[in-house]
Amino acid sequence: MKVNLTINKRPRTIDAEPGDYLLDTLRRHNFLSVKRGCDAASCGVCTVLIDGKPTLSCSVLTARLENKEITTVEGERDEIEKFYAHFGDEGADQCGFCNPGLALTVISLKRTIQNPSDDDIREYIVANLCRCSGYVAQVRAIRRYLEETS
């Protein structure tokens, strides 16, 4: 079946089987920043933005996304670079596997909540698991990113 999507601001018509998950569709089309994590919609590694909202791509069927706008890290290069710079400065980047999904979630946070508290930040990123850190440096980095880019 053909599915019409906008991926990173570019209209595309994608071939997809009825049971294809967005994660697999994106990776098949070389959007490799979208990582495979748990395949159970519980880690956030596969997060993309669908119409601006963080969404776990391993839990959404491509066939249900007709005329939706999908954003991956590749579509937010400028914001991602700013975000990652703060992560490095705060020592919040360890293995980096969770970073793409977390970064997209934080970009959505920035566009959704003005002047979020640290509790707002923690609540917003709750679906993005990091196996390397205790989130203290990550929240500090997110706070600095939000303050310096808003």
Classify burial at 114, counting beta carbons within 10 Å of its beta carbon; exposed 0-12, middle 13-18, buried 19 or more. exposed
Q: How far apart are CA 132 and CA 56, in angstroms?
A: 20
Lowest mean pLDDT among 52-56, 62-66, 104-108, 132-136: 132-136
Residue span of the structural domain in which 25 resides: 2-74
Element holding 12 (H helix, E strand): strand 10-15
CATH number assigned to the domain comprising residue 68: 3.10.20.30
The structure tokens 């098949």 sit at: 28
Return the pLDDT at 60. 97
Return the pLDDT at 21. 97
Return the pLDDT at 102. 94
Same domain, 43 and 83: no
Provide the domain count of the chain: 2
Same domain, 86 and 65: no
Return the pLDDT at 98. 84
Return the pLDDT at 115. 94
Beta strands in 21-83 (DSSP E): 47-50, 53-56, 68-71
Contacts of 126 (CB under 8 A, 6+ apart): none
Contacts of 110 (CB under 8 A, 6+ apart): 79, 145, 146, 149, 150
| Nearest CA-CA partner of 44 in 87, 102, 117 | 102
Task: State the amino acid at position 130 in one-letter form.
Answer: C
Same domain, 68 and 87: no
CATH number assigned to the domain comprising residue 127: 1.10.150.120
Same domain, 69 and 129: no
- Tally of CB atoms within 10 A around 144: 17
Same domain, 13 and 64: yes
Same domain, 7 and 35: yes
Q: How far apart are CA 40 and CA 5, in angstroms?
A: 24
Same domain, 69 and 38: yes
Same domain, 10 and 64: yes
Same domain, 81 and 145: yes
Return the pLDDT at 39. 81
